[in-house]
Structure 1
Amino acid sequence: MAIQCSGTVGEGGGTDSREARSAPSVSDLSPPARLVPLLALACGSSVATVYFSQPLLVTLGERFALGSGLLGAIVAVTQLGYAVGLLTLVPLGDLFGHRRLITGQLGLLALALLAAGLAPGVWALLGALAVVGLLAVVAQTMVAAAAALSPSGRRGRAVGTVTGGIVTGILLARTAAGLLADLAGWRAVYLASAGVTAVLALLLRRALPLGTTSAGVREVPYGRLVASTVTLFARHPLLRARGALALLVFAAFSTLWSGVAQPLSEPPWSLSHTAIGAFGLAGAAGAVAAGAAGRWNDRGLAQRTTGVGLVLLTLSWLPIALTRQSLWALAVGAVLLDFAVQAVHVTNQTLIHAVRPDAGSRIIGGYMVFYSAGSSLGALGSALAYATAGWPAVTALGASFSLAALLLWMTTCRRGVPGGASAAERPDPADQADPRNG
């Protein structure tokens, strides 16, 4: 069906009246003042567990005798676990109350991190990291919870705040992992994270409301609930378009951050874990972008935000290509790249949630499968490219992903494929009431 590329969040869902009929009653009320910041903190801590290995790849490769071409497997196995969790665990947010699900997953994540920190061999480590990735999807459950617990007029800001926490967690993951590894070894990174995760689980158990589920969802079998995620993406062009953008954007993101440890640890730089991890702070603009993009989306500027973000993402690879000549060039490129990625990411999540607010967990979970697939692709591609032709090949790969995302967005706009949904895209209330229809 033809959908106008209007770029407004109002057109992306326009569901104020429908939301009142179909979403949980808690969404009609503003969440407690401390809840959204606490969710942002917990999201950042959870998603950081997926990125701890990036500044440690060279050390882990030496410790477990992995060649440079196989280092990407350490990142990829975590991302693959994340993808499985997105399809199997995140949809549970539409079936169970937020407090029960979020705190339970955080507790299990703490145990998985403990296992990673104590892993005696490479297979035990890879298995533990796969489970860490599986359970780290609790971050997306918390994004869906923040959206569901916020009124429609402030949803973009809530999603932006929580996503800003995720961005900060990703950035601090590299810095903290590098610092702890230099001070106490790589195992301390995962053991410390296990303790922090357990504490956050207890805090959120006290802060989260019991919550309710959407009408009719509680009675749907789990298998049908998971299958309905696929149905949702099959029925709504907006979800497919934004998912494809996420795959390409995060492939570019992972190409940089999964590959940059190798040139930085070699001459002429030969940086320590701490210094390599600190480069993640160069992308702190990403946290700023997340909050700003949420406000822009609330003002109806979704398409403009997407376009500017994708142009900046493509241009960011010009200074990144000069990494071996200048660390300042890498820093500038990282700022542009992280700003662009998070601006597009927040825009995507705000738009897709508006399509079916009653199915927010399933939609965000399905969308993040594209994110995880892109991250795995970037990690594996970056490792193979570096082993084959060095840093120039890595930058060419990242620039290709970025340019493909820009061209895809331009093509979908030209063809009238969604950036925001028209009235034809909005589901009927009867369709919302039955999750078996997707």
Structure 2
Amino acid sequence: MSAPSGTAAPTPHGFTPRARFGLTLIAGGAVANIYYNQPLLALLVNEFGARAALWVPTASLIGYGLGILALVPLGDSLSRRSLIIGQTLGLALALLAAALSPNLAALAGASLVIGILASAAQQAVPFAAELAPDATRGRMVGQVMTGLLTGILLARTASGLVGAQYGWRAVFFAAAGIAVLMAGIAAATLPGAAQTRPLRYRALMLSILHLVRSQPALRRASVSQGLLFAGFNAFWATLALLVEAPPFNLTAAGAGLFGVIGVAGACVAPLSGRFADRHGPRPMVVIGALLVVAAFAVLWAGIWSLVAVGIGVLLIDIGLNAALIANQTRVYALVPSARGRINTVLFTVMFVFGAFGAFAGSQAFLIAGWSGVCTVGIALAAAGFLVSALERKGA
């Protein structure tokens, strides 16, 4: 059986600066919607009760995973430009529904739809890979990923500021307006592509299984990145437990400030993409994995030092994102006509491993404290390193 065929013809316009700018804004603006609710949880709990702290963020994250699985593959059969415009307009309606929610059930349902449609961010990344020339694909994907990662960081800050001043509903009203603006940006900046022989949805989804079976490089990239992401989530799921307890006694806001250090991880994305273009993606994956291992070694001293925690955050963000850009560069080159489905495989595996990592980190903290979290993190990151480092050269 041959590799799954795609249907999108190469765009005649190429990856112009305007298209790159549009995709970068869309990637960041779309993914931000699943994180707006996190700084608002105290406000939501005051209005809807304690269950809001569980159901609202969970619904948006589950929806995002469903969107990656169910909608992102459509980009290999339909126009990604049209999909992005349609998803962002639908996102605006879902955000309005959230802002007008009369009860928790309505808000949780709207949050689920918001997550599903926010997967437009994952349409933007393979679109960048499709438009970019082979020689600069890593750097171009890195630039769009910088927008996505920055959107995650800024979403929490902006939402917290607006929510504190004007209430949680104002955040969702403003986000709805931004979603409409994103649809306009997509229409104005993104090139179209001629479509031939669209695949039926069932065939499209079944071809994902064939990609997993037939592309060992995709399996290795997904597992190695998934293991690194598991370590990353083991850390972030337990960081607040460390810094909000003695001897540090930080507030939740103080703990959240460590996320600002993640800007460095976003800024390194184009640099790691450039390195992958010049030297191949595999060395960059290995370097990124080693940085994550080193991060947990430094974080071990976080029991006594907030400086060590800050350095560890810096290293883990840079390492994870450097490896991610390199792995994306590698897998997008495997089957150019199936980049949406390849993106689905990569990020679905990452989410599954990430959930395991958060669970393992929390259990390790309960059993062995912060040293247990660091042990789990080192083990996961080292396993991710070995998956790439021991790969046969030229495989």
TM-score by length of 2: 0.86
1:210 aligns with 2:189: no
Deviation of 1:340 (Å): 0.6
Distance in 2, Cα, partners of 1:395 & 1:61? 32
Q: 1:44 aligns with which of 5, 25, 28?
A: 28
Deviation of 1:188 (Å): 4.1
Q: 1:145 aligns with which of 127, 133, 140?
A: 127
**Conserved? CA contact 1:58–1:262, under 8 Å:** no
1:270 aligns with 2:255: no
Moved more, 315-324 or 193-202: 315-324
Deviation of 1:393 (Å): 4.4
**Conserved? CA contact 1:179–1:277, under 8 Å:** no
1:33 aligns with 2:17: yes
Distance in 2, Cα, partners of 1:138 & 1:185? 27
Partner of 2:225: 246
Q: Quick one: structure 1 residues 340 and 189, their matched pair in 2 at CA, closer, same or farther if it must change by over 3 Å?
A: farther
1:303 aligns with 2:302: no
User: What are the equivalent positions in structure 2 for 1:214-363 lying under 5 Å apart?
Assistant: 215-216=196-197, 218=198, 220-265=199-244, 268-271=248-251, 273=253, 275-323=254-302, 325-363=304-342
Moved more, 264-273 or 367-376: 264-273
Q: Quick one: structure 1 residues 197 and 81, their matched pair in 2 at CA, closer, same or farther if it must change by over 3 Å?
A: same
Moved more, 390-399 or 130-139: 390-399
**Conserved? CA contact 1:72–1:379, under 8 Å:** no
Distance in 2, Cα, partners of 1:129 & 1:107? 15
Partner of 1:101: 83
User: What are the equivalent positions in structure 2 for 1:358-397 lying under 5 Å apart?
Assistant: 358-382=337-361, 391-397=370-376
Distance in 2, Cα, partners of 1:61 & 1:377? 27
**Conserved? CA contact 1:75–1:376, under 8 Å:** no
* 1:320-339 Cα shifts (integer Å, max 9, x gaps): 34445433322211111110
Count of aligned pairs between the two proteins = 390
**Conserved? CA contact 1:249–1:402, under 8 Å:** yes
Q: 2:61 aligns with which of 79, 85, 103?
A: 79
Distance in 1, Cα, partners of 2:36 & 2:235? 15
Amino acid at match of 2:82: R
1:156 aligns with 2:119: no
Gaps of 5+ in 1: 1-18, 422-438
Amino acid at match of 2:180: A
Q: Quick one: structure 1 residues 190 and 323, their matched pair in 2 at CA, closer, same or farther if it must change by over 3 Å?
A: farther
Deviation of 1:383 (Å): 5.0
**Conserved? CA contact 1:29–1:151, under 8 Å:** no
Partner of 1:5: none
Moved more, 402-411 or 356-365: 402-411
Distance in 1, Cα, partners of 2:172 & 2:360? 26
Deviation of 1:360 (Å): 1.3
Partner of 1:426: none
Q: Quick one: structure 1 residues 206 and 83, their matched pair in 2 at CA, closer, same or farther if it must change by over 3 Å?
A: same
For the residue of structure 1 that corresponds to 2:78, the secondary structure is: coil
Q: Quick one: structure 1 residues 381 and 179, their matched pair in 2 at CA, closer, same or farther if it must change by over 3 Å?
A: farther
Deviation of 1:185 (Å): 4.2
Q: 1:113 aligns with which of 74, 81, 95?
A: 95
Deviation of 1:263 (Å): 4.4
**Conserved? CA contact 1:57–1:261, under 8 Å:** no
Q: CA RMSD in A?
A: 3.1
Q: Quick one: structure 1 residues 122 and 399, their matched pair in 2 at CA, closer, same or farther if it must change by over 3 Å?
A: farther
Distance in 2, Cα, partners of 1:145 & 1:378? 29
Q: Quick one: structure 1 residues 108 and 91, their matched pair in 2 at CA, closer, same or farther if it must change by over 3 Å?
A: same
**Conserved? CA contact 2:125–2:141, under 8 Å:** yes
Higher relative contact order (CA 8 A, sep 6+): 1
1:172 aligns with 2:151: no
Amino acid at match of 2:251: L
Q: 2:111 aligns with which of 129, 134, 137?
A: 129
User: What are the equivalent positions in structure 2 for 1:399-414 lying under 5 Å apart?
Assistant: 399-411=378-390, 413=391
Amino acid at match of 2:186: L
Gaps of 5+ in 2: none
Percent identity for Structure 1 against Structure 2 = 35
